[in-house]
Chains A and B, each alone.
Chain A
Amino acid sequence: ETGVTQSPTHLIKTRGQQVTLRCSSQSGHNTVSWYQQALGQGPQFIFQYYREEENGRGNFPPRFSGLQFPNYSSELNVNALELDDSALYLCASGEGTSLSFEQYFGPGTRLTVT
Chain B
Amino acid sequence: DQQVKQNSPSLSVQEGRISILNCDYTNSMFDYFLWYKKYPAEGPTFLISISSIKDKNEDGRFTVFLNKSAKHLSLHIVPSQPGDSAVYFCAATRGGADGLTFGKGTHLIIQP
Contact = CB atoms under 8 A, between A and B. Distances in A.
Interface of A: 4, 33, 35, 40-45, 47-48, 50, 55-56, 58, 90, 92, 98, 101-108
B59 interface: no
Given A42-B89, A43-B89, A102-B46, A107 B41 contact: yes
Contact of A42 (B41, B95, B99, B104): B104
Interface in B79-104: 89, 91, 93, 95-104
Contacts of B32: 101
B95 A48 contact: no
Nearest to A48: B97
18 contacts: A33-B99, A40-B104, A42-B4, A42-B105, A43-B100, A45-B99, A48-B97, A55-B97, A56-B96, A58-B99, A92-B100, A101-B49, A101-B93, A102-B34, A102-B46, A102-B49, A103-B46, A106-B43
Nearest to A42: B102
Interface residues of B, number: 25
B102 A43 contact: yes
Contacts of A58: 99
Nearest to B46: A102
Interface in B1-22: 4
A78 to B, nearest CB: 17
A43 B103 CA distance: 8
A97 to B, nearest CB: 10
A8 to B, nearest CB: 14
A43 B104 contact: no
B2 to A, nearest CB: 9
Given A98-B95, A101-B34, A42 B103 contact: yes
